[in-house]
């Protein structure tokens, strides 16, 4: 659970957080009574069975008088009516012979008959790919902690989560001359004795002799342990799709349908593996006895992740909880962002916060767009501007987007992502690379152009600094890993050694995509430390270590723009065209999601560089609208930032109300966050008006302007400056530590800035400023707002008690700098 | 002022720390309560509970607290803490003490047993803690009632008798002795082990030794009197099957490997164990002796071939290279040259290799000094090797899992002499006839094939057991 951060009343916040923690362990009491059901329905409305192992169940739902749909599957009674079908204890209907029959469903005092048609009931052998392998996945044989571990377990190794059925088949039948099965007496097969604990098994008891899995494996061994080249699943569907559960303590059965390339489908609910991305909100069952049943525990949202045979799906679950008394109040919508955000809030019965005040807005938008808080003068000017607040806010946004500080701030962001680091590209190189990024930001280069210049770069890294991209990532696989994480927001590094554990990316695709960089040559230039990137005449083949075969370049997925890619051009040109195409569904989405997170504190898909089907967007419509708008505006990054900053959603107060206090991901209120290392350092200098002198750069260079992390400044490292070694947003640490707190209280950075002889306090005292103005200016400079009346009184009282005016002023500035209002962007 | 600011900051830190929750998910199916009808049964009620919740750790291979709960006898004997249970006195029984209480000590790191399960075990002890395990659980097989086959068993071992009259073939729970010309079954040697992993005739042909056992339960070495078709001696060893048995040239010693990473030597005369060798890090798959039986040579899935002294059990040398990456995958097959101390190995990399036994030059990092020859690699993994009588040729069998391959190579000139075709699936066992004229093979398919070693042509192919068709199970 993400705790909302409120600092107006810290004690209350802590109490709230502790309460929330204790609440995690609460088990929902008696399930709430169901409202009266007026109508019964099943999904699907009729069943069609196409094969002897095509068993299916129906979901039973009831409609209440006020239009609510509740799941009644658990607790429904089923009966088979007809010779063609059989019903098992799980409520599954399986074929007995071809023909028609009915499934009688009784629930909530009502009855409904579901027509069943058995189209095919011919006996067929058990399939290893479709039946045996999924059974082993379901009971966890191939889990990473068991036989799916890199070295297997106790001499028996399976591929992780069964990504390679053929290898697993050989492990079962070929290892140790057929030790693991016994065709002569299948019940004496090791692969049945182990999971039933007929012989000792460290992995424990997994199923008994009466179970479906036992019978399937028994029958497969009896048939001679054959391998079948059945195609694997191509798509999973989960029903009911994105259900809303009204209260805590409700249970909901899901059904997973697997679709195969031959057009057939199966109900694989019992064999699919389920997990809940937020098990504080809802849990999901994952045993042989109960599979895919969601239980709502507390208000919130979670994704139920479903895995089956190497394919993945996610089902978004919303638990409303008791919202008695909630009434939606219309709130201004400044642009389309607000429409989408509010639609989600209405669905969640969450009430957005008020618009933040002008002072809060100015500080927030300045930090977010330029990395720096406003100066004392800027605060006074903005607060004194009497125009309509929306007009002056929009004008401020436009103004900030054209500042030099905007360029510095976004250069820093991109330098992080592109790993500008002298360790890789020399000192001369890192300045060149930084300046190349700067010029792109300054010119507001369209994003696709920016990326394509990087990817297709050639020549001297000194003359064409974009080529540093290939100086930093030196192997085809390293370039590919960087590219997918930065520009597609996906983590391909997982599928280097095995298929991606949470996504359909395969190990083969890892090498196919890497092969686009097989032709990148690197050689020393004529200058010392210079390197030249050039296209190789004969590319070094990229080899998949599993097959030991050179891999041909191939896109991991096709989109409607890939047909237009010129396949005769240089490989990197092809890749760049494919990647930056407007039709590539990931390219624009990854960028808008990343930029959104910079301003809103959390990605719509979060983490922003881990996009996958099992990590769904909290607001898919919003994400799509942002991406569409970005594409419609020629991938203009300033337009994107302007749109977000102008929205009411961005300008909401961080203060919460009764109806949004628990919201962490739907943007009903602003999510406060600690200033980043560079922002905090620069903010201390600006607030104290202390001149900046950093080592290795010209005087006056701010922390935001540093070219790379190899300029030793302990303060920045303590506050989480990323070392720029991996292209992950997670490299920048955002947490608050005790060491940081102590440093701010006692460390030299703050205290030296406060007492600096050219600083604000020295200047104000030299000018004999009266006490009221002095206090006011300190508040304006540090917290970027006027003090409140009680604050003025408290501060004035403090001045009375301290003999030295200078010391009193320094104490006040110190206290303000150590307050959350300064340390956080909120 | 300073103090209040400090408080504010500490609270901020506290919120961040509190925001990080660590949760552990425990998923486990709860068992159905046992039905309290009639007296509690050890075999049908108590044993399943122990099997499901206890024997993962308290089994012969692990024996946590020196307690083994896989059989009635060992459960009663107990472990470090004392006797397992006192018949009639549940309150004085350690078994009950460990599974009850506020936070039961057992099962470790798992949910406690349900009330019904505890009540069941307690009731069984109260009722006298009787052992009602049937004498031969589900086991109807005996020499008088030999196994009935519905499909041919995988062949994991074959061997020619020294007089060339018989071929021994592994079956399920038995060894099949076939006439060497493939004209029919001579005898069925039905024993206790389900799995027969290797077969070897003593040099004088009087004994047939088999290694095997029941996977994950026990290992066994069987010595059969060939003339009388009788089990002469049996030694039960370890908790899993044993592998790769081989007689010394004088027939007095018998070496084999185990799934406990050990290699052992038995005295043939009385099946007494005279040596246990523990230097391997993974299962020992095959063994052999030097010509003078002073040394034992062993290979393992740990990728190494080791030399040790029979008299003392002392480790002498890694005969193969120990350079990381020099050996790819485990070793599975080993044969010593019939005339001299040269060792032929095969394994996961598919390349048969010949080594001299004794190192004559100090090891240097990265060397593979003892290697004499490498032979053209085969596809898949090599499971079996055999020399002809004078060591001029050898046969090797491999499996890719999908397909099998058998080849005859010239030992000295490393020439590929014949590829023996016709194996649809993996080959796990090969043997040369003593006169060098025939080669026998077997594997996944369950078929015995006899080839003409001079021409490489197939002479005979048969299934070594009688297969009784069965009605297809549902």
Report the pLDDT value the prediction gives residue A209, as an integer from 0 to 100: 80
* Surface of B (282-301) touching A: CB under 8 A: 282-283, 301
Whether A5 has its CB under 8 Å from any CB of chain B: the answer is: yes
Contact B282 A11 (CB under 8 A): no
A657-691 core/surface letters (b: 16 or more CB in 10 A; e: else) = eebbebbbbbbbbbbbbbbbbbbbbbbbbbbbbbe
B260-287, pLDDT tens digit by residue? Answer: 999 999 999 999 999 999 999 999 999 9
Specify if A672 maps to a domain: no
The string of pLDDT tens digits covering residues A600-627 is 999 999 999 999 877 889 999 999 999 9
Would you state the pLDDT for residue B366?
A: 72
Under 8 Å between Cβ of A492 and A484: yes
Q: Is residue B136 part of a domain?
A: no
> Is the pTM above the cut of 0.95?
no
Is the pLDDT assigned to residue A23 strictly greater than 80?
A: no
Q: What is the mean pLDDT of residues A763-772?
A: 94
User: Chain A window 287-306: which residues touch B at a Cβ cutoff of 8 Å?
Assistant: 287-289
Torsions phi, psi for A658 (to 5 deg): -55, -30
- Per-residue pLDDT of A81-109, as tens digits, reads 999 999 998 899 999 999 999 999 999 99
**The pLDDT value given to residue B23:** 31
- Residues A404-427 have pLDDT tens digits of 999 999 999 999 999 999 999 999
Same domain, A532 and A681: no
Q: Predicted confidence band at A196 (pLDDT cuts at 50, 70, 90)?
A: confident
Residue A782 binned pLDDT confidence (cut-offs 50, 70, 90):
very high
Q: Looking at the structure, do residues A98 and A176 belong to the same domain, yes or no? A: no
Dist CA B424 CA B447 (whole Å): 10
Q: Are residues B110 and B169 in the same domain?
A: no
Q: Is the dihedral of CA A616, A621, A626, A631 positive or negative?
A: positive
Is residue A710 one of the residues assigned to a domain? yes
Regarding whether A113 and A72 lie in a shared domain, the answer is: yes
In the numeric block, which tokens belong to residue A557?
């997925």
Q: Are residues B170 and B307 in the same domain?
A: yes
Interface predicted TM-score (ipTM) of this complex, two decimals: 0.80
Interface residue of A24, A159, A177 to substitute, partner B, most B CBs within 10 Å:
A177
Assess whether B237 and B374 both reside in one domain.
yes
Percent of chain B residues past pLDDT 70, beyond the cut: 87
pLDDT at position A536 over 80 = yes
Which residue from B minimizes the CA distance to A11?
B11
- Tell me, yes or no, whether A538 and A449 share the same domain: yes
A427 and A576 belong to one structural domain: yes
The band of A297, judged by pLDDT with boundaries at 50, 70 and 90, is very high
Query: What CATH number should be reported for the domain holding residue A257?
Result: 2.60.40.1080
pLDDT digits (tens, 9 = 90+) for B304-327: 999 999 999 999 999 987 666 555
What does the pLDDT read at residue B54? 82
Q: Which of B56-60, B79-83, B464-468 has the lowest mean pLDDT?
A: B56-60
Q: Which distant-in-sequence residues (6+ apart) come within 8 Å of A447 by Cβ?
A: A580, A588, A591, A630, A635, A637
Q: How far is CA B222 from CA A396, A443, B106, B198, B287, in A?
A: 91, 85, 39, 11, 16
> Does B21 reach chain A within 8 Å, measured CB to CB?
yes
Both B226 and B325 in one domain: the answer is: yes
Number of domains in chain B: 2
What pLDDT, on a 0 to 100 scale, did the predictor assign at position B325?
59
What is residue B79's DSSP assignment?
B
Structure letter (DSSP) for residue A56:
B
Predicted pLDDT at A202: 85
Q: How high is the pLDDT of residue A167?
A: 87
More confident site: B144 or A1? B144
- B122 and B164 both lie in a single domain: no
List b or e across B21-50, with b for residues whose CB sees 16 or more CB atoms inside 10 angstroms. Answer: eeeeeeeeeebeebeeeeebbbeebbbbbb
| In a shared domain, residues B283 and B398 | yes
Structure token pair of residue A602: 């959390």
Mean pLDDT confidence for A293-315: 92
Q: Domain check: are B122 and B239 in the same one?
A: no
B75/B199 same-domain check: no
Give percent of chain A above pLDDT 90: 76
Do B242 and B326 lie in one domain? The reply is yes
Query: Of B25, B195, B400, which is closest to A179 when you measure between CB atoms?
Result: B195
Res. A191 pLDDT band, cuts 50 70 90: very high
| Domain total in chain A | 5
- The per-residue pLDDT for B135 is 59
The CATH number of whichever domain residue A69 belongs to comes to: 2.60.40.10
In-domain check, residue B14:
no
Q: Which of A:108-147 have CB within 8 Å of B? A: 123
Under 8 Å CB-to-CB from A540, ≥6 apart: which residues?
Answer: A476, A518
Size of interface A-B (CB pairs under 8 A): 178
Is residue A770 assigned to a domain?
yes
Tell me how far apart the alpha carbons of residues B312 and A413 are, in angstroms, rounded to a whole number: 69
Rounded CA separation B349/B355 (Å)? 16
Residue A628 lies in a domain: no
Read off the tokens for B380. 């898949």
Same domain (yes/no): A689, A801: yes
Which B residues in the span 425-454 are in contact with A, Cβ-Cβ below 8 Å?
A: 426, 428-429, 443-444, 446
- pLDDT per position as a tens digit, A553-583: 999 888 998 888 888 888 999 999 999 999 9
Please indicate if any CB of chain B lies within 8 Å of the CB of A155. Answer: yes
pLDDT tens by residue, A665-713: 999 999 999 999 999 999 999 999 999 989 989 999 999 999 999 999 9
- Predicted pLDDT at A29: 54
Kindly tell me if the per-residue pLDDT of B26 is higher than 70: no
Does residue B321 lie in a domain region? yes
A810 and A683 together in one domain: yes
Domain membership of residue A652 (yes or no) is: no
- Select the residue of B12, B429, B443 nearest A7 (Cβ to Cβ): B12
Question: Are A274 and A247 contained in the same domain?
Answer: yes
Q: E strands of A5-137, at which residues? A: 37-43, 47-50, 59-64, 69-71, 77-81, 85-87, 93-95, 99-107, 110-120
- Structure tokens belonging to residue A705: 């302007």
CB of B7 within 8 Å of any CB in chain A? yes
- pLDDT, position B27: 28
Confidence class for position A497, pLDDT limits 50, 70, 90: confident
Tell me which chain A residues have a C-beta less than 8 angstroms from the C-beta of B241: 179
* Interval B429-454: pLDDT, tens: 999 999 999 999 999 999 999 999 99
Judgement on whether residues A806 and A742 belong to the same structural domain of the protein: yes
- Quote the CA–CA distance of A250 and A130 in Å, as a whole number: 32
Give, in degrees to the nearest 5, the angle at Cα B125 between B121 and B131: 95
Residue A514, C-beta contacts closer than 8 angstroms, at least 6 positions apart: A476, A477, A479, A480, A542, A551
Contacts of B282 in chain A (CB under 8 A): 155
> Does B255 or B230 have the greater pLDDT score?
B255
A590 belongs to a structural domain: no
Q: How far apart are CA A286 and CA B26, in angstroms?
A: 11
Rounded CA separation A231/A228 (Å): 9
- Asked if the C-beta of B150 comes within 8 angstroms of chain A's C-beta atoms, the answer is yes
Q: Which residues pair with A825 in a beta bridge?
A: A673
**Per-residue confidence at B73, pLDDT binned at 50, 70, 90?**
confident
Residues A116 and A155 placed together within one structural domain of the fold? no
Q: Does pLDDT of A223 surpass 50? A: yes
Find the residue in B nearest to A814 (Cα): B2
A222 closest CB neighbour out of B25, B51, B473: B473
Compare CB distances from B151 to A2, A183, A736 and report the shortest one's residue.
Answer: A183
Lateral strand order in the sheet of A282-286 = A251-253, A291-296, A282-286
Mean pLDDT over all residues of chain B? 86
Per the domain annotation, does B52 fall within a domain? yes
Phi, psi of A408 (to 5 degrees): -60, -45
Tell me, yes or no, whether A17 lies in a domain: no
Residue A544 lies in a domain: yes
Task: For residue B192, name the pLDDT band (cuts at 50, 70, 90).
Answer: confident
Instruction: Identify any residues that bridge with A63 across adjacent strands, giving them in sequence order.
Output: A39, A69
Q: Is the pLDDT of residue A177 over 80?
A: yes
Q: What is the pLDDT of residues A446-463, one digit of tens each?
A: 999 999 999 999 999 999
Q: Out of A520, A546, A580, pick the residue that ends a domain.
A: A580
- Whether B139 is covered by a domain: the verdict is no
A263-272, A712-721, B60-69, B382-391: which has the minimum mean pLDDT? B60-69
| pLDDT in the model for residue B16 | 34
Is B11 part of the contact surface with chain A (CB cutoff 8 Å)? Answer: yes
pLDDT at B203 over 70: yes
pLDDT at A1 over 80: no
Do residues A420 and A543 share a domain?
yes
Q: What order of strands is seen across the sheet that includes strand B305-309?
A: B284-289, B295-300, B305-309, B315-318
- Domain range for B51 is 42-126
Which pLDDT score is estimated for B51?
A: 72
Phi-psi map region of B216: left, alpha, beta (phi>0 left; psi -120 to 50 alpha):
left
* Sequence-distant contacts of A503-508: CB under 8 A, at least 24 apart: A503/A312, A503/A612, A503/A613, A503/A614, A504/A310, A504/A311, A504/A312, A504/A613, A505/A556, A506/A163, A506/A310, A507/A163, A507/A544, A507/A546, A508/A544, A508/A551
Q: Say whether both B88 and B195 belong to one domain.
A: no
Residues 205-234 of B with CB under 8 A from A: 214-217
B410 in any annotated domain: yes
Residue A27 is predicted with a pLDDT of: 46
- Please report residues of A whose CB lies closer than 8 A to that of B70: 200
| pLDDT for B110 | 79
Pick the last residue of a domain from A98, A120, A142: A120
Average pLDDT, chain A: 91
Tell whether B167 and B253 lie within a shared domain.
yes
Of A568, A576, A558, residue with least CA distance to A470: A576
pLDDT at B388 over 60: yes
CATH of the domain at B223: 2.130.10.10
A550 and A415 in a single domain? The answer is yes
- Which of residues A287, A319, A351 is at a domain's end? A319
CB contact under 8 A, A177 and B154: yes
**Does the beta carbon of B238 lie under 8 angstroms from any beta carbon of chain A?**
no
For chain B, how are helix, strand and coil distributed in percent, rounded to 5? 10, 35, 55
Query: B398 lies in a domain?
Result: yes
Of B43-52, B99-108, B330-339, the poorest mean pLDDT is in B43-52
State which residues form the domain around A568: 408-580
For A350-379, what is each residue's pLDDT tens digit? 999 999 999 999 999 999 999 999 999 999
Task: Tell me the pLDDT band of B474, cut-offs 50, 70 and 90.
Answer: very low
B186 with B53, same domain: the answer is no
């Amino acid at each position: 659970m993400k705790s909302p951060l409120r600092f107006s009343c810290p004690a209350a916040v802590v109490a709230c957080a502790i309460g929330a923690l204790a609440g995690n362990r609460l088990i929902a009491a008696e399930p709430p009574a169901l409202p009266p059901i007026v109508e019964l329905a099943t999904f699907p409305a009729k069943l069609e069975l196409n094969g002897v192992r095509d068993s299916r169940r129906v979901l039973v739902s009831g409609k209440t008088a006020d239009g609510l749909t509740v799941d009644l599957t658990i607790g429904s009674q089923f009966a088979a009516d007809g010779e063609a079908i059989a019903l098992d204890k799980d409520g599954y209907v399986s074929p007995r012979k071809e023909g028609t029959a009915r499934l009688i469903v009784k629930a909530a005092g009502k009855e409904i008959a579901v027509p069943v048609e058995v189209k095919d009931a011919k006996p067929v052998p058990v399939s290893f790919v479709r039946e045996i392998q999924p059974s082993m996945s379901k009971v966890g044989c191939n889990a990473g902690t068991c036989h799916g571990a890199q070295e297997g377990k106790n001499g028996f190794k399976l591929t992780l989560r069964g990504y390679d059925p053929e290898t697993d088949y050989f492990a079962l039948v070929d290892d140790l001359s057929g030790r693991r099965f016994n065709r002569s007496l299948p019940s004496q097969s090791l692969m049945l004795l182990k999971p039933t604990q007929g012989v000792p098994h460290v992995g424990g008891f997994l199923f008994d002799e009466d179970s479906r899995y036992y019978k399937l494996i028994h029958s497969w061994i009896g048939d001679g342990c054959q391998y079948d080249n059945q195609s694997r699943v191509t798509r999973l569907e989960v029903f009911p799709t994105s259900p809303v559960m009204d209260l805590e303590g409700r249970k909901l059965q899901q059904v997973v349908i697997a679709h195969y390339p031959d057009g057939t489908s199966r109900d694989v609910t019992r064999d699919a593996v389920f997990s809940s991305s937020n098990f504080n909100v809802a849990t999901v069952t994952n045993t042989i006895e109960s599979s895919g049943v969601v239980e709502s525990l507390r208000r919130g949202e979670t994704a139920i992740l479903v895995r089956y045979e190497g394919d993945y799906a996610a089902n978004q679950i919303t638990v409303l909880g008791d919202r008695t008394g909630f009434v939606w109040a219309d709130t201004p919508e400044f642009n389309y962002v607000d429409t989408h955000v509010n639609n989600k809030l209405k669905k969640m019965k969450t009430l957005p916060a008020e618009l933040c005040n002008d002072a809060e807005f100015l500080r927030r938008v300045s930090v977010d767009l330029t990395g720096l808080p406003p100066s004392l003068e800027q605060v006074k000017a903005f607060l004194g501007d009497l125009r309509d607040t929306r007009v002056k806010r929009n004008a401020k946004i436009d103004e900030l987007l054209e500042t030099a500080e905007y360029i510095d701030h976004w250069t820093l962001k991109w330098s992080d992502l592109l790993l500008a680091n002298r360790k890789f590209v020399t000192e001369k190189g890192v300045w060149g690379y930084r300046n190349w990024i700067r010029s792109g930001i300054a010119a507001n280069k369209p994003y696709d152009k920016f990326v394509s210049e990087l990817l297709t770069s050639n020549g001297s890294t000194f003359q064409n600094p974009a080529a540093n991209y290939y100086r930093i990532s030196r192997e085809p696989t390293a370039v590919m890993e960087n590219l997918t994480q930065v520009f597609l927001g996906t983590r391909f590094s997982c599928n280097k050694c095995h298929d991606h554990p949470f996504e359909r990316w395969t190990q083969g695709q890892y090498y196919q995509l890497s092969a686009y960089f097989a032709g990148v040559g690197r050689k020393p230039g004529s200058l010392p430390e210079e390197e030249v990137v050039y296209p190789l005449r004969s590319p070094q083949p990229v080899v998949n270590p599993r097959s030991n075969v050179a891999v041909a370049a191939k896109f991991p997925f096709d989109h409607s723009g890939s047909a237009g890619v010129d396949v005769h051009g240089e490989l990197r040109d092809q890749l760049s065209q494919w990647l930056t195409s407007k039709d590539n569904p990931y390219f624009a989405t990854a960028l808008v999601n990343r930029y959104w997170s910079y301003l809103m504190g959390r990605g719509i898909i979060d983490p922003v560089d881990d996009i996958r089907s099992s990590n769904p967007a909290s607001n898919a419509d919003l994400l799509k609208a942002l991406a569409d708008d970005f594409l419609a505006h020629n991938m203009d990054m300033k337009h994107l930032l302007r749109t977000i900053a102008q929205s009411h959603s961005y300008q909401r107060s961080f203060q919460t109300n009764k109806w949004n206090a628990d919201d962490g991901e739907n943007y009903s209120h602003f999510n406060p966050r600690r200033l980043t290392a560079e922002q905090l350092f620069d903010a201390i200098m600006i607030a104290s008006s202390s001149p900046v002198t950093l080592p290795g750069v010209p005087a006056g260079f701010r922390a935001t302007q540093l070219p790379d992390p190899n300029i030793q400044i302990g303060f920045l490292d303590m506050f989480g400056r990323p070392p720029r070694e991996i292209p992950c947003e997670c490299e920048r640490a955002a947490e608050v530590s005790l060491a940081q707190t102590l440093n701010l209280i006692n460390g030299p950075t703050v205290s030296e800035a406060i007492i600096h002889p050219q600083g604000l306090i020295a200047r104000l005292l030299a000018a004999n400023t009266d006490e009221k103005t002095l206090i006011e200016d300190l508040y304006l400079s540090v917290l970027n707002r006027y003090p409140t009346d009680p604050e003025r009184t408290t501060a004035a009282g403090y001045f009375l008690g301290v003999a030295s005016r200078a010391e009193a002023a320094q104490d006040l500035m110190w206290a303000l700098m150590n307050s959350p209002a300064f340390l956080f962007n909120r | 002022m300073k103090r209040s600011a400090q408080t504010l900051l500490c609270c901020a830190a506290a919120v961040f720390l509190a925001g990080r929750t660590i949760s552990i998910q425990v998923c486990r199916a709860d068992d159905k309560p046992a039905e309290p009808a009639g007296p509690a049964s050890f075999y049908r009620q108590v044993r399943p509970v122990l099997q499901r919740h206890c024997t993962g750790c308290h089994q012969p291979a692990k024996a946590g607290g020196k307690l083994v709960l896989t059989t009635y006898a060992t459960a009663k004997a107990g472990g470090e803490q004392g006797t397992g249970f006192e018949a009639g006195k549940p309150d004085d029984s350690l078994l009950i003490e460990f599974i009850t209480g506020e936070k039961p000590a057992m099962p470790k790191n798992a949910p406690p047993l349900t009330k019904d399960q505890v009540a069941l075990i307690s009731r069984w002890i109260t009722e006298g803690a009787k052992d009602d395990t049937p004498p031969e659980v589900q086991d109807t097989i005996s020499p008088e009632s030999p196994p009935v086959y519905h499909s041919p068993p995988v062949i994991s071992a074959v061997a020619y008798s020294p007089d060339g009259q018989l071929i021994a073939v592994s079956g399920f729970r038995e060894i099949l002795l076939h006439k060497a010309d493939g004209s029919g079954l001579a005898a069925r040697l039905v024993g206790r082990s389900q799995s027969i992993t290797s077969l070897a005739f003593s040099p004088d042909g009087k004994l047939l030794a088999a290694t095997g056992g029941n996977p994950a339960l026990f290992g066994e070495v069987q010595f059969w009197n060939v003339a009388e078709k009788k089990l002469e001696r049996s030694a039960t060893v370890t908790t899993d099957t044993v592998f790769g048995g081989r007689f010394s040239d004088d027939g007095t010693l018998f070496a084999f490997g185990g799934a406990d990473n050990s290699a052992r030597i038995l005295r043939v005369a009385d099946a007494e164990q005279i040596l246990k060798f523990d230097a391997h890090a993974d299962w020992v798959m095959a063994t052999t002796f030097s010509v003078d039986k002073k040394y034992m040579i062993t290979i393992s899935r740990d990728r190494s071939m080791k030399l040790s002294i029979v008299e003392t059990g002392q480790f002498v040398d890694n005969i193969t290279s120990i350079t990381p990456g020099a050996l790819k995958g485990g070793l599975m097959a080993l044969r010593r040259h019939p005339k001299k101390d040269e060792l032929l190995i095969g394994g996961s990399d598919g390349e048969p290799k010949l080594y001299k036994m004794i190192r004559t030059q100090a090891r240097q990092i990265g060397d593979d000094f003892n290697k004499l020859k490498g032979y053209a690699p085969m596809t898949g993994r090599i499971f079996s090797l055999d020399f002809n009588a004078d060591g001029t040729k050898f046969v090797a069998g491999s499996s890719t899992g999908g397909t099998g391959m058998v080849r005859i190579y010239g030992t000295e000139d490393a020439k590929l002499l014949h590829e023996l075709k016709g194996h649809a699936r993996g080959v796990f066992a090969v043997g040369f006839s003593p006169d060098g004229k025939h080669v026998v093979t077997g594997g996944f398919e369950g078929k015995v094939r006899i080839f003409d070693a001079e021409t490489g042509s197939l002479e005979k192919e048969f299934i070594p057991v009688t297969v009784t068709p069965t009605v297809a199970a549902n």
